[in-house]
Structure 1
Amino acid sequence: MTAHPVPWKNGGGVTRELATHAEDGRMVWRLSLADITRDGPFSAFPGLARIHCIVEGAGHTLSNETTRLEARPLEPLRFDGGSPLDCRLRDGPCKAFNVIYDPARVTAGSEILVDGPVPAVEGRQVLFVVSGSLEGVDADRLGPGEGIVTGTAAGAVVTGGGTVVQVRILPV
């Protein structure tokens, strides 16, 4: 999972699309790593849901007239992707691992894993290494900033004082 930076949908920053899945010409889910370097509007994705997890930096606040969401390091945050939200950085730039998905087609959930075996889950899963390493899943070893989309993680282990974002994606 590596990609070149591309502008956000609203032009306010850059993201790296790590993986995507489409059916019938429509996005079902997308994984990305966003650089958030300034305050401003967040891109809206009407009809889609989001899981947003700060993997570097202190995070930020997303808000509008009726909503206030705190994006904190390694705390996956779920919200309506269509909500018009403004972003205010907490203490400088940050990076966020994002899952944007169509809730009419799939459900998604996220956990933070630390040193130890990767728990078995149903369906497709994404493993994104924040720190340390991930060993034993379709590759010898994955390091920080690397990840994999897989149907099974049997035998995979988070090592080296590691932290991994695990995302489960199941059909509705």
Structure 2
Amino acid sequence: MSDQVQIRQLHSIDDPTIIAALGEVLADCVDGGASVSFMQPFSAEQAQAFWRKLSAGVTAGERILLVAQDADSTILGTVQIVLSQPENQPHRADVAKLLVHRRARRSGTGEALMAAAERAAALAGKTLLVLDTATGGDAERLYRRRGWQVSGTIPDYAMWPDGRKCATTIFYKYI
């Protein structure tokens, strides 16, 4: 990863410039075929609506939102830690939406975001993290490299943005 990439936490996402930048990363991932809950065609308006919907949870501290930015403050990637869990699961959090713009992939940005997510979750008092990802992709390799354990794989769990079904692997990690 370039020494110019910084990871920082956003405590709110009500700034239209930030929403547009996060929307660009999300739209790029969907356009590139990532299975991240959205289908093609996927518009900038849909991407920005997703981030506006999350705004209240970020502001309320129910989720941690981390971004990777370059020296020009351009957002290259993002990841979320969902802290708000059921009453009987106060020790765990979900890692969600690790998104890295295609122009920043294979640069260590995803690795840096995951390391920061794990640290942030630990600082929030969490000891167990869980996540799911499409089976067989770069993200799965990243999680395995970082010491995440496979809980299982579910066939046909989700779809690629083009409508084809894909398997999903569930991971966990004690931190």
Normalized per residue, the structure richer in strand is 1
Q: Do the structures match in fold with TM over 0.5?
A: no
Give the TM-score category using the shorter length: under 0.3
Normalized per residue, the structure richer in helix is 2
TM-score for both structures, normalised by structure 1: 0.27
TM-score for both structures, normalised by structure 2: 0.27
